[in-house]
Structure 1
Amino acid sequence: MNDPVLLTGAGGHVGQVILDGLRDEYDWRLMFHSEPAKEPDFPYWTGEVQDYDDVAPAAEGVGAIIHLAGDPRPSAPWKSVLQNNIDGTHTVYEVAVDEGVEKVVYASSNHAVGAFESDERTPEMYRTHDEFRLDGTELPRPGNKYGISKATGEIIGRYYHDKYDLSVCNVRIGNLNENHPPIDYERGQAMWLSPRDCAHIHQCTLEADYGYEIVYGISDNDRKYYSLERAKEVLGYEPMDNSAEWSGEEKVVKEQ
C-alpha cells in the first residue's frame, strides 16, 4: 500500500495498537472523535464518524481506510450503536466510494457471532470447539446490540463491494489484551489477540489482494474456536503468539 491510509477511531485501544505497531510502515491519516491530548505525528481530523462532512476531508487522497470508530461497549444501547456504529459505517463507505478509496478494512467483532458461544441451544459441535471452528461462513448470531451493529457493518460492506467493487475485509477482532491473556481459558484465552498479532493482521489486510472477506482476528491459541485458515490463506496472516504459551518474559525474548 503506497497511498496514505486513514485510520478512524485512532484514539481507541485498537487504533493505538495498530499505530504503534505499524507507525513507520504507512503514510497515516488519523481521525479522532475529539481533540487528542497529544499532538499526533500524522495529519489528523476530529469529528463525528456519522457526519459525511467530517469524514470526507480525512479520506481525501487515501488508498485504504481502516475503520475502527464506533461505540465499543458490548452493553452499548441501541441509540448509540445505531448512530455511531451503523450510521457511522455507512458514512465511511459512502465517503470511500466518493473519494475513490480502493480498500476498506472494517473492525468487526467476535460479538457478531457471540450467541454461538453462550446459547445452550447451540448444537454441541459449535460449543465443544474441538473439531469444529467458526470460520466466517456461518450466519451472524449476535448476542447483544453491539453485536447486531457489527454484523450489520459486515452486510453494509458486502453491499458496497458488490455495487462498487470495493475491496472489503471484515476482521472479527477477539480479545485484545496487552498484558497476560485472561485467566478464563474457555473464552478469554481462546479469543486472545496479542498486540503484535493485531498490528500484523491489519498490515496483512492492507497488503493482500481480495474481494470481500470475513476473517477472525485472534492469535494462534491452542484451543481456539475461531478458525484462522481464511486469514492465513487469503491475507498471509502468520500469528506469532499463543495464549497458552505467552508470558511477559517470553514476549520480550521473542521481540528482541
Structure 2
Amino acid sequence: MDEPVLLTGAGGRVGRAILAGLGGAYDWRLLDREPLAADALPAGIGDEDVVVADVTDETAVRDAVEGVGAVVHLAGDPRPNAPWDSVLSNNIDGTQKLFAAAADAGVDRVVFASSNHAVGAYETDDRTPDMYRTDDEFRLDGSELPRPSNLYGVSKATGETLGRFYHDHHDLTVACVRIGNLTKDHPPKEYERGQAMWLSHRDCAHLFDRCLRADYGYEIVYGISDNDRRYYSIERAREVLGYDPQDNSAEYTFEGKPKEEAEPDSA
C-alpha cells in the first residue's frame, strides 16, 4: 500500500500487537487520546505521524484520515462493563464519525475491531463448558445475527452495522474482526473460554495484515488463533482473507509453557 494506514487506538493492547508485528510493513499514522510511549512506536515514526486526539473529535478525525489509504479502527472504551454514556460516545458515535470521515475522504477500506462480546450471549449456561469442542457443532462463523452479552457488545454490533451501511452506500471496503482473547506469549490459564478464544500477538498482526491486503467487500470474521477447541470458526477468514494462523492454545500447558518445554511427569 503506497498511502499511509491510520491506526486509531494505537496505544492499546491490540494496537501494540499490530505495530509489533507489522511496524515496518506500512507507513503508519497513529492516533490515540494519550501520548504514545516511545517503546510503542515502530522505527521511523516521527512526531508528525502521531495524532493525539479523541475519536469523538470530528475535526481531528477528519484531519487524521486525509491522505490515508486505509484505516484500522481500534479506538473506543474497551471495558466490557463500560456504562452506556461511554459506549454511546466513544464506541458508537466515535465509530460513526470515523466511518463518515473515511468515506468523505475517499479512503479505500476500514478494518473495524469488533469483539467476541458482540455474540457473547450465544454462550448460555446450558452450553458452557461443552460448547468449546473440536467438531463444528454450535460453531459461529460470522453469518449469525449479533447477540451481545453487555452494552460494550451492543456498541461493537452497532459498529459492524455501521460498517455494512458505509460499504453499501459509500463503497467502503470493510472488515469487522470479532477479536477473541488476545494475550502475549501464551494463552490464558483457564481452559474453556480463555484458551478456546485465544488470539496470539503473532496471529493478530497477521490477521490485520490480511485485512489490509486481501480483496473483499464486506466481511465479519473471528479473530482467534488455530485452537483445537473453539466456538468460533476461522474458515471465512482463511477463505476470503488468506488468514493462516500459526498458534494453537492446545500446544500449551495450563502453566502457559509450550508442551515440549513442560517438565515431564515423575516416574
Unaligned runs of 5+ in 1: none
**Equivalent position amino acid for 2:17 in 1:** V
Q: Does 1:147 align with 2:153?
A: yes
- In the superposition, the TM-score normalised over structure 1's length comes to 0.92
Deviation for aligned residue 1:250: 7.7
8 Å contact kept, 1:116–1:127: no
Matches within 5 A, 1:1-256: 1-38=1-38, 40=41, 41-42=45-46, 43-120=49-126, 127=131, 129=133, 130-132=135-137, 133-246=139-252, 248=257
Larger radius of gyration: 2
What is the alpha-carbon distance in structure 1 between the residues aligned to residue 57 and residue 174 of structure 2?
Answer: 21
8 Å contact kept, 2:118–2:154: yes
Runs ≥4 residues deviating over 4 A: 247-252
Q: CA offsets per residue over residues 90-129 of structure 1, 9 Å max, x none?
A: 0100110111100000000000000111354x7x9x9364
**Percentage of identical aligned residues:** 61
Unaligned runs of 5+ in 2: 262-267
Q: CA offsets per residue over residues 151-204 of structure 1, 9 Å max, x none?
A: 000000000000011000000001001142112211000000000000000000
8 Å contact kept, 1:135–1:226: yes
- Comparing 190-199 with 180-189, greater Cα deviation is found at 180-189
What is the alpha-carbon distance in structure 1 between the residues aligned to residue 132 and residue 203 of structure 2?
Answer: 25
- Comparing 128-137 with 108-117, greater Cα deviation is found at 128-137
**Structure 2 CA distance for partners of 1:119 and 1:164, relative to 1, 3 Å:** farther
Instruction: Please provide the CA RMSD for this pair.
Output: 2.0
What is the alpha-carbon distance in structure 2 between the residues aligned to residue 128 and residue 194 of structure 1?
Answer: 18
Deviation for aligned residue 1:47: 1.0
What is the alpha-carbon distance in structure 1 between the residues aligned to residue 181 and residue 240 of structure 2?
Answer: 22
**Structure 2 CA distance for partners of 1:128 and 1:192, relative to 1, 3 Å:** closer
Task: Report how many aligned residue pairs link the two structures.
Answer: 249
**Equivalent position amino acid for 2:12 in 1:** G
